[in-house]
Amino acid sequence: MIKRFSFLSSRRGQATTEVVLLFPFFVIFILFVIKIFGLLVLSQKMEIAGYYAARRFQLQSHETDYYQNTWDRRYLEKDIQEKLESYLGLNNPGMRKFLSVSKLKMDIARSGTWTRITLTAHTRPPRIRFLCNYNKDEVCYRDAKCLKGYAFLCETGGEVSVIKYVGKNERVVPYQRPEGK
């Protein structure tokens, strides 16, 4: 039995130099994957939040000007905004850092038939130190896509936007016979 596994002890070990040199590249790759995954999660959460905001506004908003300018603006829009911020994790520091979200903006534009609800999440730049230490003009020499990526990673961040359209609230009025029964 001992002779069967003796070949394992006779080999030389792997040089750790390759592992030590490749470790920083592995860390950089993992950081990029985590940030991209965070943006994908933010995108999906924005779609769900947009559907929630549109449907709730459709069902609870009013048609008259008086209620549109009072109750809808003062209460309904603010309550939807608070629920969306809570859902996206703006109240939770860990989720806020993972998704890189700095603020959420909700715009509601009414028209005759359709209401357009636009959600815009502003993201902070990931600012990975060892990538942002270099001058962008030297790194991105005459490359517009590289400059845009550098600006997103190190300077400005970006925006994730979702637009939803909903029709008027056409709730069915219950039928009542003329005699009131």
3-state SS track over 126-147: CCCHHHHCCCHHHHCCCCHHHH
The pLDDT of residue 80: 94
Dump pLDDT digits (tens) for 82-104.
Answer: 999 999 999 999 888 888 898 99
The DSSP call for residue 20 is H
What confidence category does residue 50 fall into, taking pLDDT thresholds of 50, 70 and 90? very high
CB atoms closer than 10 angstroms to residue 89 = 18
Q: Residue 108 belongs to what H/E stretch?
A: strand 101-110
Pairing state of beta strands 115-123 and 158-166?
A: antiparallel
Model pTM? 0.72
Domain extents in the chain: 17-166
Cβ distance 62 to 71 under 8 Å?
yes
